[in-house]
Amino acid sequence: MARWALILVPGYYRKPKNTLRDLLVSNLTMAESMRMSVTSSDADMASLAVSASDDTALPETIDVIEAGWADLIPVPAEEKPIGRLLQGLSLLLYWIGSPGMWRAIFKYSFWIAAGYIFSALLLVLWLLSLLTVAVQTLDVAGIGTPVLPVTPITDAGAPANDTAEGSALLQEMLRDAAGWLTALIPQKYAAALAVIIPLLPVMIVADLAAFTRDYLSDLATDGITGLRARLRMRLQTAFGAALSKDYDHVIIVGHSFGSLIAADTVAGWYRAEDLARVRVVTLGSPGSVLSYRSQWVATEIANAVERRPGFGWTDIHAERDFWSAGLLPADSNRIAEGDVVRMVVDLPGTLVERFNGVVHLAYFRDEAVLRALLGQGSAAGVPVPVAALPVPHLLASE
């Protein structure tokens, strides 16, 4: 009996493990041109029984496994405003300070690169607005009664005591800071910004920008192992387990940020012959933009594609998805030479849904995408016999 395994690598998605897997499985069972039903589902995998069809060349069974990593996403801490302000400033320096990000804005994807940059900028602006409103409310700018009591100074000019001297110095510093903030952001604008900016998904994008920076920098969040290695290990574990079983075909599906993890894993997989029965599909990838910020990302994507998985590589992008640019640029030689098939789909969604990520998740309910995941072409029609599927490339080790 023919069996396939589909390993799903989610993106930056702060939901319990298997949430995205169950969404995919549910939509596969409702696909119009592919008849499937769930036979079992637990924490390890969900199994689908496939009915024979004139329009598909599918196995009898498909096991869907999620290589989840949501537990590695930091939970936003209750940070003080100054901590968030410093985070915003550091993000600004990281993203604005990269000439490659500015090239990516104007060449490949305005929304991803600009989203990282402007979320950090808005985070800083919001916190400065809060501070401005606070100091004006507390009236420390020299108007009215001082907030800090001042102990009288002696005739000789010496402070009556050290506490009085410290209080006076601190009050003077607060007044200077308040004056600077008031000049920077007038009160009427500060109050409006303090209310309006939190209504935007600034914190979410800023946290994503911070996580992306940590990933590209391979930050050792536990002080021992880099974040890149920890994420890659999740897929390596699931991939190795699938390869050890009698699956005829293993499909790796990387969604969004997960596409980078998929490429990193394929690029460094230790045994080339294993890739002969692998298909890779990347959905809504930011790879072509982040390659401009990180040389290792560009290198690993190129190395992964060079290894030519036996059943091909399909990169799926939607123009309406503001958080996607494709794993590779549309003008990449790899696409022109056929090493990667670039598929552009039209996903429905309002302008707001393009920003808030609803469209970014819509790949999993698009019929053409569901068919492409399983190598059945983007539309029902002439059946695709197994013998007609791409012949595995001869690998360097063979």
- Residue 211's contacts (CB-CB under 8 Å, 6 or more residues apart) are 12, 73, 74
Q: Is 293 strand, coil or helix?
A: coil
Beta pairing partners, 341? 314
Residue 275 DSSP label: G
- As a whole number of angstroms, the distance between CA 244 and CA 354 comes to 40
Is 398 domain-assigned?
A: no
What predicted TM-score, i.e. pTM, was given to this entire model? 0.76
Q: Is 65 strand, coil or helix?
A: strand
Asked if residues 135 and 175 have their Cβ atoms less than 8 Å apart, the reply is no
Of 288 and 394, the structure prediction assigns the larger pLDDT to 288
Asked if residues 256 and 228 have their Cβ atoms less than 8 Å apart, the reply is no
Pairing of strands 249-255, 61-66: unpaired
- Are 228 and 297 members of one domain? yes
- Phi, psi for 339 (deg, rounded to 5): -70, -30
- Asked which of 183, 210, 237 is the last residue of a domain, the reply is 210
- Asked which of 154, 180, 210 is the last residue of a domain, the reply is 210
Is 328 domain-assigned?
A: yes
- Are 109 and 65 members of one domain? no
Residue 277 DSSP label: G
Is 362 domain-assigned?
A: yes
Is 164 domain-assigned?
A: yes
Tens digits of residue pLDDT in 52-94: 876 678 899 999 999 999 999 887 655 565 666 666 677 767 7
- Are 260 and 173 members of one domain? no
- Are 20 and 116 members of one domain? no
Span 112-136, average pLDDT: 63
pLDDT for res 146: 45
Asked if residues 314 and 343 have their Cβ atoms less than 8 Å apart, the reply is yes
Q: Annotate 304-337 with b (16+ C-beta within 10 A) or e (fewer).
A: bbebbbbbbbbbbbbebbbbbbbbbbeebebbee
Q: Is 283 strand, coil or helix?
A: strand
- As a whole number of angstroms, the distance between CA 220 and CA 304 comes to 24
- As a whole number of angstroms, the distance between CA 312 and CA 308 comes to 7
- As a whole number of angstroms, the distance between CA 9 and CA 217 comes to 21
- Are 101 and 238 members of one domain? no
Asked if residues 33 and 371 have their Cβ atoms less than 8 Å apart, the reply is yes
Span 181-196, average pLDDT: 60
Portion of the chain with pLDDT greater than 70, in percent: 64
- Are 26 and 112 members of one domain? no
To the nearest 10 degrees (0 to 180), the angle between helices 202-216 and 81-96 is: 60
Band of pLDDT at residue 283, cut at 50, 70 and 90: very high
Q: For residue 48, what is the enclosing H or E element?
A: strand 46-50
Span 335-343, average pLDDT: 90
Span 274-278, average pLDDT: 92
pLDDT for res 228: 93
Identify each DSSP E strand in 124-172 by its residue range: none
Band of pLDDT at residue 148, cut at 50, 70 and 90: very low
- Are 37 and 59 members of one domain? yes
pLDDT for res 74: 81
pLDDT for res 179: 58
Domains: count for the chain: 2
Of 256 and 135, the structure prediction assigns the larger pLDDT to 256
- Burial bucket for residue 191 (CB in 10 Å: 0-12, 13-18, 19+): middle
- As a whole number of angstroms, the distance between CA 281 and CA 372 comes to 8
Instruction: Show the domain range for 258.
Output: 3-73+224-388
Find the range with the poorest average confidence among 163-177, 306-320, 326-340, 376-390: 376-390
pLDDT for res 379: 46
Tens digits of residue pLDDT in 166-182: 556 655 655 565 555 55
Q: Is 57 strand, coil or helix?
A: coil
- Are 134 and 63 members of one domain? no
Of 135 and 267, the structure prediction assigns the larger pLDDT to 267
Is 215 domain-assigned?
A: no
Asked if residues 117 and 101 have their Cβ atoms less than 8 Å apart, the reply is yes
Is 395 domain-assigned?
A: no
Of 285 and 123, the structure prediction assigns the larger pLDDT to 285
Is 183 domain-assigned?
A: yes
Residue 256 DSSP label: T
pLDDT for res 91: 72
Portion of the chain with pLDDT greater than 90, in percent: 37
- Are 265 and 348 members of one domain? yes
Span 268-296, average pLDDT: 91
